[in-house]
Structure 1
């Protein structure tokens, strides 16, 4: 498969999964705030964004298996950077919570932080190594 086809297929799967994740997440917040649902119902509904999130990892894994080594190297660097940022924030904030009574950081924020760090790193590495953002 050529790179354009692989990338098109990646976005065709990734974007709907992320829309379901975001819609499910926001829907849960709205339901929890506006309707008095039992915890078991909310827990069952929480499976929707969880499954969507897990599918984004599988979609990205499949994408990385189908691109060439050079592009895969950029992806690996970006994913490791995202993971490093999340680990640094989680660990650092954990220390702050433990020792200086900082407010708790809602753990679900680590996912978008990771994807933002991934995107910034992927753009930076691509620009540095190719001279363009394509």
Structure 2
């Protein structure tokens, strides 16, 4: 499959952000034992992976704006909408379960990985409804 220029730039950005995210997770995990006191330094270190998550979101938004093919942009935005629906639905439903039952707590950290999983679900929805899963 040949990638268009927007896809190549997107892939490059995602590689940089992914490496940054993994490095930030390892840094936080190695410097901060679980349950560390919330000092300005520990909070700053713990928030580093979150900054990389903003990088992922920025890269995806930039990709949408750089896609010149309107059909591909439609497919990508549909994937993001399905992912958003899945993440918000799971987070809200589980939150209600937490309020009214004794289910285990779901750390808020999992909302973004659920959203990323939802991109794959969105590609499947596109494939089933349009016969095309969209870009990589």
TM-score for the superposition, normalised by structure 1: 0.82
- C-alpha distance in 1 between matches for 2:54 and 2:107: 19
In structure 2, the partner of 1:5 is 5
Q: How many residues were matched structurally?
A: 132
Structure 1 residue runs of 4 or more that deviate by more than 6 Å after TM superposition:
none
Structure 1 CA distance, aligned partners of 2:131 and 2:106? Answer: 37
Aligned to 1:73: 74
How big is each residue's C-alpha offset from its partner over 1:75-130, in whole Å with a ceiling of 9 and x where there is no partner?
A: 11111111111111111111111111211101101111101111232254147534
Q: Does 1:55 align with 2:55?
A: yes
Q: Which moved more, 1:91-100 or 1:24-33?
A: 24-33
Could you tell me the TM-score, scaled by structure 2's length? 0.81
Aligned to 2:24: 24
Query: Given that residues 127 and 133 in structure 1 are in contact (C-alpha distance below 8 angstroms), is that contact kept between their aligned partners in structure 2?
Result: no
| Structure 1 runs not aligned, ≥5 long | none
Unpaired runs of 5+ in structure 2? Answer: none
CA RMSD of aligned residues (A): 2.6
Name whichever structure is richer in helix by fraction: 1
C-alpha contact (below 8 Å) 2:76/2:134 kept by paired residues: no
Distance (whole Å) between structure 2 residues aligned to residue 38 and residue 98 of structure 1: 26
Instruction: Compare 99-108 and 18-27 and name the one that shifted more.
Output: 18-27
| Secondary structure of 1:101's aligned partner | coil
Cα 1:60–1:129 shift into 2, 3 Å: same
